[in-house]
Amino acid sequence: MLKISEAAQHSLSSGLQDLGAGIDALRPMVDRHITRDRVERYLKAISDTPAPSTAASAMRAPVLRALLDEDGALGGRLDLDANYANTGGTVLLTGAAAKAMPLWYFAHLDTISYLVSRSGGGRHRLVPFCYHLTRDGRRDALCYRYDLHGGGYRAVAGGFLESDAGTPYFRPAEPSFVPERGDRIVPVAACTGTSDGHMTGHFDNAGGVAALAVAAPVLAEAGFDAMLVFPDEEEGPPGSGNQIMGRGGSRIINGLRAPDLAVIVDMQQSGEGSLSDDVQTNDVRLGHGAVLSEFSSLGRGAVTPPHLLGLSRLLVRLIGERGVKVQEPLSSYTSRSDDVSVMLKTPNILLLGFPGVDRHFDTGLPRANLDDIVNLSKAIVYTALLRPLVRSMSDRFGRSAP
């Protein structure tokens, strides 16, 4: 059978005892920087910037850079590369060279979007460049086009994304407007909120990006060597196979050494909204904290190894005693995300997220809770403490006779 060697047991036991002390050492930095106001500022700026797949880095990376510049966070140990290794993805790096980073964090930068199929009759048939979940109804939308002479994307028309029996169309507000091949149709929802933290906006995955971006300067200041990855194509085309989605992440990690630990951050459907057809219950709730899941897509995506899940559940308990809320659902559906790319590089994957409703404009406008994203950002920093423990366990597993 497999067991941990005596030396590893001693190292692990010591590390587990030191975990609470490590959290307490990080806590002043975490609480000073990761504030409700800062997370809200990042969340609004990112979610209000449309980000169709394969164009997300061009449209949202400047927003990320401006936010971090405003906080004086870039430079020193924190650098932003808006087109890492010519992959089209955006990366934040702290410390060491990217190819040997021991700690990865992922939050996809793109949102759902639609391609133009054919025009006619005042509304135009679309091809989903995403997992289309609006069965019937109308959502506000914008048509974006690349300006070859101006060198950027711009909105050329407003209108509506209409869905009839699951078939999507774009109806321009100006009937004479005709979309062109290469245009992208993006559903939009202004980011608004109330004092209790409940918010409406295009949060999939602006919430994850905001949580990572706010956490990044703390990871850098604390001396963790980490790569924070914002792929520009997680949504991508619909399909049943894992590698149909998450292609932006695959491009980024293709030439990198496997990390000790990877954390995948995304919006997850709460029980307050519509559920997957193959899941009847969901006990994840808005306002109850971030979400730690063991597996995604009913095991079709990543599955966290038992030893890593045990470590992460201990961490959740310890940070919970210090006011950081993380839900551990008993019955919930966690969607596949960038884990479908990363799981081919390492099994050591943690699935962290935040609860939301109607993430793809399913039955209405997307909703989330600001405080859940604040808790998520803090939890992201604390997960960095698990990396040496995971490395110790991975290095020291030995084989002995039963």
Residues β-bridged to residue 356: 269, 368
| Token pair belonging to 321 | 């005693």
Instruction: State the SS3 of 224-281.
Output: CCEEEEECCCCCCCCCCCHHHCCHHHHHHHCCCCCCCEEEEEEEEECCCCCCCCCCCC
> Whats the size of the chain, residue-wise?
402
Task: Tell me the domain boundaries of the chain.
Answer: 2-111+195-397, 114-187
**CA gyration radius for the chain?**
21
In percent, how much of the chain has pLDDT > 90? 74
d(CA 362, CA 113): 14
- How does pLDDT run across 72-102, given as a tens digit for each residue? 999 889 999 999 999 999 999 998 666 678 9
* Omega before residue 282 within 30° of 0, cis: no
Q: Match 């078939």 to its residue by tokens.
A: 167
End-to-end CA distance of the chain: 5
Q: What architecture does CATH give domain 2-111+195-397?
A: 3-Layer(aba) Sandwich (3.40)
Confidence of residue 16 (pLDDT cuts 50, 70, 90): confident
Answer for the pair 372, 270: CB distance below 8 angstroms, yes or no: no
Q: How far is CA 206 from CA 42, 56, 67, in A?
A: 9, 11, 13
Q: Match 């959290």 to its residue by tokens.
A: 23
Q: What sign does the CA torsion over 33, 68, 82, 240 have? A: positive
| Token pair belonging to 30 | 């975490």
Once rounded to an integer, what is the mean pLDDT over residues 11-26?
82
pLDDT at 335: 86
- How does pLDDT run across 124-179, given as a tens digit for each residue? 999 999 989 999 999 999 999 999 998 899 999 999 999 999 999 999 999 999 99
Lowest mean per-residue pLDDT among 60-64, 172-176, 209-213, 248-252: 248-252
- Would you give the DSSP letter of residue 34? S
Which alpha helices (H) appear in 34-119, and where do they start and end? 36-47, 56-70
| Token pair belonging to 132 | 């289309």
d(CA 8, CA 267): 36
| Token pair belonging to 359 | 């993430």
- Residue 278: is its pLDDT beyond 80? no
